[in-house]
C-alpha cells in the first residue's frame, strides 16, 4: 500500500501567464510512452509481480522505492500543467458564457480536452491527446530483463524531458524539467548499478545514455549542487531499507559516492493552492455556493474556522496584466511566432527560476507556523502538529545555514507568501472589473 503525504517533491513557481500550447507538450511527460505514468506503473507492476522477493530483497526494495518516487513525479507534472492552464482573468466569481470566454481555443495549438473535458486540468494523455495505455508497462517476471528495461526507460524519459525543456519556455515547465532531469539521472544510475551488481555488465558503458548536459540546464544546477544527482530518498516509514545494498558505489560521471537518504517528508514544499477558473466552471458553476456549503459542513463536524490542511497561497491576480485564454490566442500566440527570443527572455526575467525552485525556508515556515499554530492543535492530534511545527523549524534552521543562496531564494520566493486566499468570494469580487474588461478585449480579438 501507499501512504500519501500532501507535499510536493520540489517547489514549482506559482501560476503566471497561461500557456495552453506548452501545457499540451508537457502532457508527454505525464502520459507519454516514456512519461511519469509509465515509469510509475512499470516499477509498480514489477514490484507487485516480484517472485521470491525475500531472496532478492535489495532489488525488490530498489524497484518498489523508485516506484513511490515516481508517484510524486506524476503529481509534479500535473501541478505544472495545471499551473500553465491557470489564467488570472478567469478567477472571476461568475462568467457569462454568452461572451464566449473560450472563443480563442479554436485557434490554439492546445489540447481541447484541457478545456472542454478537463476543466483546465492535467489528463492521463500524451502530447497528442492520446490516453496513456497499460501497453506501456513491461513486467516480464525476469528480474534482469526488467532492470535492463528500466535503465532504457529512464534513458528515454530523460531524453523526452530535455526535448520538452527545449520546446517550452514557461517557467513552471522549465522548473519541472530541471528537477526531473536530475532525478531521472539518479534512476538511470540506480538501474545501471542494479544490473552491474547482478551481472558485472556496466550498462552506462554498453549503452551510454543520451549526453544530457545537466550542468548546462540552469534549473538543474541547484539540485546537483545540493547532491540530489547522487541520492535516492527512501519513501517509506520503515520499509525498503535494503536498497542500499544495490544503490552503492560511485556516480559514474562525477565519481562522488551514491547514497540512500531518509528524510522527514513533511519538510518538502506545500502544494500551491490552485485558484478557481470560472470560465470552465472549476470547481463549480457556483464556487461561492460550494464555499458556503463547505463552511456549514465543517462547522457541523466541529472543525476550527481555518482549514486544517496546509497549502502555499497563490498571489492574487494583478489587474490589467492578465489575459484571458481567448485574448491569448490572438496575442501570445502571435507574439510567440513573431518574437520568440524576446518572449523567452521576458519570461526568464520575470521568474527567477533558481530561487523559485528551492523551498522558500522562511516563507514556508511562516505559513506552517501560522497554520500549525493554535488551530491545528485544536484538531486533537497535538503530537502531529507539534512534530510538524518542530520539523519545519528544524528545516528552517538547516536551510538558514545553507548561506547566502538561501537568503536570496527566500526573498525571491516571497511574492508567494501572502495570506491564504481563504476569502475567495471577496477576492473574486475584486477581480470582477478586471475580468469584464478582459472579456471585452477578448471579444475584439
Ligand atoms: Mn520520474
Ligand atoms: Mn525515474
Same domain for 224 and 305: no
Which own/partner contact pairs does 296-303 have at CB distance under 8 Å and 24+ positions apart?
303/379
Closest C-alpha among 153, 150, 158 to residue 213: 158
Gap from CA of 6 to ligand 2 centroid (Å): 20
Per-residue 3-state assignment (H helix, E strand, C coil) for 88-132: HHHCCCCCCHHHCCCHHHHHCCCCCHHHHCCCCCCCCECCCCCEC
Q: Cα angle vertex 186, ends 180, 189, to 5°?
A: 140
Gap from CA of 73 to ligand 1 centroid (Å): 5
**Gap between the Cα atoms of 345 and 223, Å rounded:** 23
Q: Which ligand is nearest to the CA of 43?
A: 2
Q: Which ligand is nearest to the CA of 177?
A: 1
In a domain, 201, yes or no: yes
Gap from CA of 61 to ligand 2 centroid (Å): 15
**Gap between the Cα atoms of 117 and 112, Å rounded:** 8
Same domain for 314 and 180: no
Same domain for 345 and 240: no
- Give the 3-state secondary structure of residue 351: coil
Q: Please count the structural domains in the chain.
A: 2
Residue 158 maps to which CATH number?
1.20.1260.10
Q: Within 13 Å and on the Cβ side, how many CA atoms surround 19? A: 25
In a domain, 235, yes or no: yes
Task: Report every protein residue that has its C-beta within 5 angstroms of ion ligand 1.
Answer: 36, 39, 70, 73
Q: Which residues contact 93 (CB under 8 A, 6 or more apart)?
A: 278, 287, 288, 425, 428, 429, 431, 432
In a domain, 276, yes or no: no
Q: Which residues pair with 231 in a beta bridge?
A: 259
In a domain, 151, yes or no: yes
Whole domain around residue 390: which residue ranges?
A: 295-444
Gap from CA of 36 to ligand 1 centroid (Å): 5
pLDDT score at 401: 41
| 329-382: pLDDT as tens digits | 433 433 343 333 333 333 333 333 333 333 434 434 433 433 333 333 333 333
Same domain for 147 and 50: yes
pLDDT score at 47: 98
Same domain for 299 and 259: no
Gap from CA of 410 to ligand 1 centroid (Å): 27
Same domain for 356 and 221: no
pLDDT score at 289: 86
Same domain for 431 and 317: yes
In a domain, 393, yes or no: yes
Q: Which three cell numbers stand for residue 404?
A: 547566502
Same domain for 159 and 38: yes
* Domain end point (choices 213, 247, 267): 267
Mean pLDDT by 10 residues, the chain (445 residues): 96 94 98 98 98 98 98 98 92 78 85 92 97 98 98 95 96 98 96 96 82 85 96 96 96 93 95 91 84 95 94 71 42 38 32 36 40 34 40 43 37 36 36 36 35
Same domain for 372 and 425: yes
Q: Which residues pair with 261 in a beta bridge?
A: 233
Q: Is the pTM of this model over 0.85?
A: no
DSSP 201: -
Same domain for 325 and 248: no
Gap from CA of 53 to ligand 1 centroid (Å): 24
pLDDT score at 360: 39
Task: Report every protein residue that has its C-beta within 5 angstroms of ion ligand 2.
Answer: 39, 187
Q: Which residues contact 332 (CB under 8 A, 6 or more apart)?
A: 17, 19, 323, 343
DSSP 14: P
Same domain for 35 and 159: yes
Gap from CA of 113 to ligand 1 centroid (Å): 24
Gap from CA of 186 to ligand 2 centroid (Å): 8
pLDDT score at 44: 98
Gap from CA of 235 to ligand 2 centroid (Å): 14
In a domain, 172, yes or no: yes
Amino acid at each position: 500500500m501507499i501512504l500519501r503525504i500532501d507535499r510536493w517533491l520540489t517547489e514549482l513557481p506559482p501560476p503566471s501567464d497561461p500557456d495552453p500550447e506548452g501545457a499540451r507538450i508537457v502532457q508527454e511527460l505525464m502520459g507519454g510512452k516514456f512519461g511519469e505514468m509509465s515509469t510509475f506503473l512499470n516499477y509498480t507492476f514489477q514490484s507487485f509481480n516480484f517472485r521470491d522477493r525475500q531472496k532478492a530483497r535489495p532489488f525488490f526494495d530498489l524497484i518498489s522505492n523508485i516506484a513511490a518516487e515516481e508517484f510524486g513525479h506524476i503529481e509534479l507534472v500535473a501541478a505544472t500543467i495545471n499551473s500553465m492552464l491557470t489564467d488570472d482573468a478567469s478567477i472571476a466569481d461568475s462568467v457569462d458564457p454568452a461572451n464566449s470566454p473560450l472563443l480563442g481555443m479554436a485557434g490554439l495549438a492546445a489540447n481541447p480536452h484541457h478545456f472542454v473535458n478537463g476543466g483546465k486540468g492535467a489528463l492521463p494523455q500524451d502530447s497528442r491527446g492520446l490516453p496513456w495505455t497499460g501497453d506501456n508497462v513491461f513486467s516480464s517476471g525476469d528480474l534482469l530483463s526488467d532492470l535492463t528495461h528500466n535503465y532504457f526507460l529512464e534513458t528515454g524519459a530523460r531524453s523526452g524531458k530535455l526535448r520538452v525543456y527545449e520546446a517550452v519556455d514557461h517557467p513552471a515547465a522549465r522548473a519541472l524539467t530541471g528537477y526531473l532531469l536530475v532525478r531521472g539521472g539518479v534512476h538511470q544510475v540506480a538501474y545501471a548499478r542494479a544490473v552491474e551488481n547482478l551481472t558485472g555488465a556496466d550498462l552506462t558503458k554498453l549503452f551510454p545514455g543520451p549526453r544530457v548536459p545537466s550542468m548546462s540546464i540552469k534549473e538543474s544546477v541547484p539540485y546537483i549542487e545540493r547532491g540530489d544527482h547522487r541520492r535516492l530518498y527512501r519513501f517509506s516509514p520503515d520499509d525498503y531499507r535494503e536498497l542500499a545494498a544495490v544503490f552503492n558505489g560511485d556516480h559514474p560521471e562525477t565519481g562522488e559516492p551514491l547514497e540512500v537518504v531518509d528524510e522527514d517528508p513533511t519538510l518538502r514544499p506545500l502544494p500551491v493552492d490552485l485558484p478557481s477558473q470560472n470560465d470552465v466552471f472549476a470547481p463549480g458553476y457556483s464556487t461561492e455556493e460550494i464555499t458556503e456549503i463547505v463552511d456549514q459542513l465543517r462547522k457541523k463536524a466541529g472543525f476550527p474556522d481555518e482549514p486544517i490542511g496546509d497549502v502555499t497561497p497563490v498571489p492574487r491576480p494583478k489587474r490589467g496584466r492578465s489575459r484571458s485564454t481567448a485574448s491569448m490566442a490572438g496575442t501570445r500566440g502571435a507574439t510567440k511566432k513573431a518574437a520568440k527570443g524576446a518572449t523567452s527572455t521576458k519570461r526568464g526575467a520575470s521568474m527567477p527560476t533558481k530561487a523559485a525552485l528551492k523551498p522558500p525556508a522562511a516563507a514556508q515556515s511562516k505559513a506552517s507556523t501560522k497554520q500549525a499554530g493554535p488551530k491545528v492543535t485544536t484538531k486533537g492530534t497535538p503530537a502531529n502538529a507539534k512534530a510538524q511545527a518542530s520539523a519545519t523549524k528544524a528545516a528552517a534552521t538547516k536551510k538558514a545555514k545553507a548561506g547566502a543562496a538561501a537568503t536570496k531564494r527566500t526573498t525571491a520566493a516571497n511574492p508567494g507568501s501572502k495570506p491564504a486566499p481563504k476569502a475567495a468570494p471577496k477576492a473574486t469580487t475584486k477581480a470582477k472589473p478586471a475580468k469584464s474588461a478582459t472579456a471585452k478585449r477578448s471579444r475584439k480579438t
